[in-house]
Amino acid sequence: MDNRISQKLAEPAFEFAEQDKWRSVLADNLKQFGSLQAALYGGLQSATPGMAFLHGYQCAIRCLDADCPAETLAAFAVSESGVKNPKDLATALTQEKQGWQLDGQKSHVMLLPDLLDDLYLVVKQEGRLVGVKTSTNTQGITVTKQLQAPFVSDIPHAAISLQQVCLTDEALLAEDGHAQWNKPFRYWEDMHVAAAMLGWMYRQAGQNGELLTYWQQLEQAFSESPEYYAEQSFDLLDSVSAALDVAAEELDQACLAMWKRDRMLLVMGSNIRSRVKARVMGGK
């Protein structure tokens, strides 16, 4: 076993309420290790699958923006109510006399209203999609609804409104918000959340060595294809999900109940990934 894994297992697992603790652990991991390793180690110290998801997601953000500080909590917001195709997004960036102005709404944003530092958004600008970044403290950003998710319910999510949010030129980070951010983020999130869930399950389900074998396969696959799905990525991620379900048979009653609820996150990811796979393989 990796000595670092042993060290993480020797430390207590944290829950969402222990905010100073897990923020410190997340920052330390991001400073010391690559994003996928940081996701695994965060999962090893997570008390719930929701906390593992949170750490995997935050590590995936660092693929979207390598300059995102380790201490920063950030979210990537694309979804809008009633919009299924990115080209139909309504949140718009317009040029005003004083600079750029952002108006619209996003239906799902993690860690609001209290903890989020920065937002990365895909928005419409003169008929094209661009990627912008802003602080959640920027005037004009308000929480409109606190969401109650049926899974990973320990991690807060909210809908937001953006009204006359002023941005500078430096806020425009991606000229093609779909190709540079939206399209690859699904892959980055898949890989990092899978790594974090392997860490959580390894701790909670009797330290099953097969789970670390899958982690090593994830690490190898990600090193070979860091930007987007390779053909073997689809089967590997499906195998990881299946291995997690098998290992879950060794969970205690409380952890099993959490897993049965929160595994729906992976099921949803698998359903989306199957559609991506059909497009990728169909284009070969």
190 in the same domain as 59: yes
31 in the same domain as 17: yes
Rg (CA), the chain: 19
CB atoms within 10 A of CB 81: 11
255 in the same domain as 163: no
145 in the same domain as 113: yes
**Considering 126, 152, 177, which residue would you say is the last residue of a domain?**
177
**Considering 177, 209, 233, which residue would you say is the last residue of a domain?**
177
Question: At a CB cut-off of 8 Å and minimum separation 6, what does 264 contact?
Answer: 150, 151
Please check whether residue 159 is in contact with residue 107, taking contact to mean a CB–CB distance below 8 angstroms. yes
Q: From CA 195, how far away is CA 240, in angstroms rounded? A: 9
CATH code (residue 129): 2.40.110.10
Amino acid at position 14, single letter = F
Residue with tokens 């040029």: 95
pLDDT tens by residue, the chain, 284 residues? 689 999 999 999 999 999 999 999 999 999 999 999 999 999 999 999 999 999 999 999 999 999 999 999 999 999 999 999 999 999 999 998 788 999 999 999 999 989 999 999 999 999 999 999 999 999 999 999 999 888 999 999 999 999 999 999 999 999 999 999 999 999 999 999 999 999 999 999 999 999 999 999 999 999 999 999 999 999 999 999 999 999 999 999 999 999 999 999 999 999 999 999 898 887 65
Helices (H), 156-263: 177, 183-204, 209-224, 231-247, 253-262
Say if pTM beats, i.e. exceeds, 0.75: yes
H/E stretch holding 265: helix 264-282
Q: Where in the sequence is the domain holding 204, given as residue range(s)? A: 3-65+180-282
H/E stretch holding 158: strand 157-167
260 in the same domain as 277: yes
**Considering 177, 195, 217, which residue would you say is the last residue of a domain?**
177
184 in the same domain as 171: no
Structure tokens that stand for 279 in this block: 């497009």
